[in-house]
Amino acid sequence: MRPSRRILGILFIVLVGFSAVSASDWPQWRGPGRDGTSPETGLMKLWPDGGPAELWSCSGLGEGFSSVAIADGVVYVCGMISREGYLFAIDSQGKVRYKVNYGPEWDKAGRSPGTRTTPTIDGERVYLMSGMGRLACHNAADGKRLWYVDTLKKFGGRNIWWGISESVLLDGDRVICTPGGKDATIVALNKKTGETVWTSKGLSQSSAYCSPILVEHGGKRLILTLVEKAFVGIDANTGQVYWAVPHRVSYDIQAVSPLHKDGMVFVSNGYRHGSVGLALSADGASAEQKWAEKSLDVHHGGAVLVDGMVHGVSTAGRWIGLDFATGKVAFSGKLVGRGSVIYADGMLYGYGENGQVGLIRIKPDGYELVSSFKVRKGSTEHWAHPAISDGRLYIRHGDTLTCYDIKAR
Q: Collapsing DSSP states into helix, strand and coil, what is residue 196? A: strand
Mode of pairing for the β-strands spanning 213-217 and 196-199: unpaired
Give, in order, the Cα–Cα distances in Å from 112 to each of 84, 94, 161, 221, 363.
15, 27, 10, 35, 37
Q: Which of 234, 322, 235 lies closest to 276 in space, CA to CA?
A: 322
Residue 405 burial class via C-beta count within 10 angstroms: exposed 0-12, middle 13-18, buried 19 and up: middle
Q: In the structure, what pLDDT confidence band is assigned to residue 191 with cuts at 50, 70 and 90?
A: very high
pLDDT digits (tens, 9 = 90+) for 260-282: 999 999 999 999 999 999 999 99
Q: Kindly list the structural domains of the chain, giving each domain's residue range(s) and its CATH number in brackets, ordered by start.
A: 43-60+301-382+384-409 (2.40.128.630), 65-207 (2.130.10.10)
Q: What is the total residue count of the chain?
A: 409
pLDDT digits (tens, 9 = 90+) for 100-124: 999 999 999 999 999 999 999 999 9
Strand partners, 10: none
What is the C-alpha to C-alpha distance for residues 152 and 159, in angstroms, rounded to an integer? 7
Q: Collapsing DSSP states into helix, strand and coil, what is residue 251? A: helix
For the stretch 238-257, what's the b/e string if a residue is b when 16 or more beta carbons lie within 10 angstroms of its beta carbon?
ebbbbbbbebebeebbbbbb
Contact 343, 326 (CB under 8 A): no
Q: In the structure, what pLDDT confidence band is assigned to residue 66 with cuts at 50, 70 and 90?
A: very high
DSSP string, 279-339: EE-TTSS-EEEEEEESS----SS-EEEETTEEEEE-TTS-EEEEETTT--EEEEE-TT-SE
Measured at the alpha carbon of residue 206, what is the angle toward residues 339 and 226, in degrees to the nearest 5?
45
What mean pLDDT comes out for the span 321-328? 98
For the chain, give the mean pLDDT: 94
Question: Is the pTM value of this prediction over 0.85?
Answer: yes
Handedness of CA 123, 125, 126, 127 (dihedral sign): negative
pLDDT for 7 equals 40
pLDDT for 9 equals 40
What is the C-alpha to C-alpha distance for residues 64 and 81, in angstroms, rounded to an integer? 9
Q: In the structure, what pLDDT confidence band is assigned to residue 2 with cuts at 50, 70 and 90?
A: very low
What is the C-alpha to C-alpha distance for residues 360 and 350, in angstroms, rounded to an integer? 7
Of 8-12, 254-258, 395-399, minimum mean pLDDT range: 8-12
Q: In the structure, what pLDDT confidence band is assigned to residue 23 with cuts at 50, 70 and 90?
A: confident
What is the C-alpha to C-alpha distance for residues 117 and 79, in angstroms, rounded to an integer? 9
What is the C-alpha to C-alpha distance for residues 376 and 397, in angstroms, rounded to an integer? 9
Residue 186 is given by DSSP the state: S
